[in-house]
Structure 1
Amino acid sequence: MKDLPCPCGSTQSYGQCCAPLHQAFANSGQLTAPDAESLMRSRYSAYTLDLLDYLLASWHPDTRPSSLAPNEPGLRWLGLQVKKHVQQDAEHAQVEFVARSKLGGRAQRLHEISRFVRVDGAWLYLDGEIS
C-alpha cells in the first residue's frame, strides 16, 4: 500500500504523503499535519481506509461526533480535488474540496468548504459548509 498512489490525489505515494501522518498518530497519538490542507488530505485518505480513530482524533472536540460508522460494503472512493487552501491566520484555515465516491452504481459528490483550527499545535477539522 505504501508504494501505491496516495488516495488523497497528491502526486506522491501513500508512503510519502498521508501514511506518515496516520502512522505518527497510530504510534504516539499525535497529530502531525503541518497545515490544514495536509490534514484535509490525510482525513480523506483515512475515510478511504476506514481509519476511524484518526478521523475522530482529528475532529475538534466541540463538533466531533461520538462515533463514526465504517464504510458501507461496496463503497468506492473515487478521488479528492482540493480547490483552495486559505490560511486565515496562524490558528485558522479553510480548505475547499470536492470528494467523489460511488455506492451501488450511484455516484456521489461532496463539495465542502471546511474550517480548521490549530489547538495546542495540532490542526483539527472544525466544521464545513456543504455547497
Structure 2
Amino acid sequence: MLCPCGSKQSYVNCCAQYIEKFIENNNRLPELPEQLMRSRFTAYALNNAHYIFATYAKASQSQQSIDDIQEWSSQCKWLELIIHNTSSRESDESEYQFVEFSAIFIHDNSICEMREHSRFKREKNSHNEMVWRYLDGNILKNEAVKHISRNETCPCQNYFNKQSRKAKKYKHCCAR
C-alpha cells in the first residue's frame, strides 16, 4: 500500500515507522516538520487520534482531546496531501519552522480543501531529546471545492472492484 501522505513510498517505508512504532521506539518522531506533517496527515487518514494528539506541542494539547480528533478524523475520507512550501532544513536549529500544505478530503458529500500555514515547535520529549511538534496554524482556505453526486465515480482513487476493474460510483464507495 502506498503511503497516504503522497510521498510515493510504501506506507511501511514512510509514515508507518513513526505512527505504528511510536510507542515501540520510545516516542520516536520525524526529524523534520515536513515529515511530521506527512505523518499527521497519514494518521488522520488511518484514524489514529492518539498519534495526532501526541504530536501536538505541549502548549496546544490542552486545547485538544483524543475524542474530538477521532470524531473529526472519522467524519472525513482523506484523499491527498499537497505540500506547497516548507522552511524545514536539517541543519536549521531554530525553535520554529513552518509548512504550508493543503489537505484534500471528502466531507458531507463534498470534496474539500483546507490550506494551512502550520507552525512547528522544537521541544523536549520524555527522554530529554529535542523533537518537532505541531504548535498551531493559520488557515488560509477551508471550503468545499465540489459537491459529489451519488452516481459520480468516487474520487477516492481506491474505487476499482477487483473482479470487474470498473470504477465504483460514489454511492457504492465512500458515501456509505
TM over 0.5: same fold?
Answer: yes
Identify which of structures 1 and 2 has the higher relative contact order when contacts are C-alpha pairs closer than 8 Å and 6+ apart: 1
Unpaired runs of 5+ residues, structure 1, are none
- Cα RMSD over matched residues? 1.6
More strand by share: 1
User: Where does structure 2 lack aligned partners over 5 or more consecutive residues?
Assistant: 125-129, 141-176
How many residues are matched?
127
Q: Percent identity over the alignment?
A: 35
The secondary structure found in structure 2 opposite 1:45 is helix
Match in the other structure for 1:76:
77
- For residues 52-67 of structure 1, the aligned pairs below 5 Å read 52-64=49-61, 65-67=64-66
**Cα deviations by residue, 1:48-104 (Å, 9 ceiling, x for unpaired):** 11111110110012112133233335x321100001110384132100000000123
Q: What amino acid sits opposite 1:113 in the alignment?
A: H
| Higher Rg of the two aligned structures | 2
CA distance in 2, matches of 1:78, 1:87: 24
CA distance in 1, matches of 2:14, 2:118: 20
Are 1:21 and 2:14 an aligned pair? no
Q: Secondary structure at the residue paired with 1:63?
A: helix
Instruction: Indicate yes or no: 2:139 matched with 1:130.
Output: yes
SS in structure 2 of the partner of residue 62 of structure 1: helix
Q: CA deviation at 1:24?
A: 2.6
For the structure 1 residues 69 and 22, does the alpha-carbon distance in structure 2 shift closer, same or farther, using more than 3 Å as the test?
Answer: closer
| Whole-angstrom distance in 2 between the partners of 1:72 and 1:13 | 23
Structure 2 Cα separation of the partners of residues 110 and 48 of structure 1 = 14
The answer to whether the Cα contact below 8 Å between 1:97 and 1:113 also exists between their aligned partners in 2 is yes
- What are the residue-to-residue correspondences of 1:1-131 with 2, within 5 Å? 4-64=1-61, 65-67=64-66, 68-70=69-71, 71-72=73-74, 75-87=76-88, 89-90=92-93, 91-120=95-124, 121-131=130-140
**Partner AA of 1:41 in structure 2:** R
In the alignment, the residues of structure 2 paired with residue 100 and residue 26 of structure 1 have an alpha-carbon distance, to the nearest angstrom, of 29
Shift of 1:124: 0.2
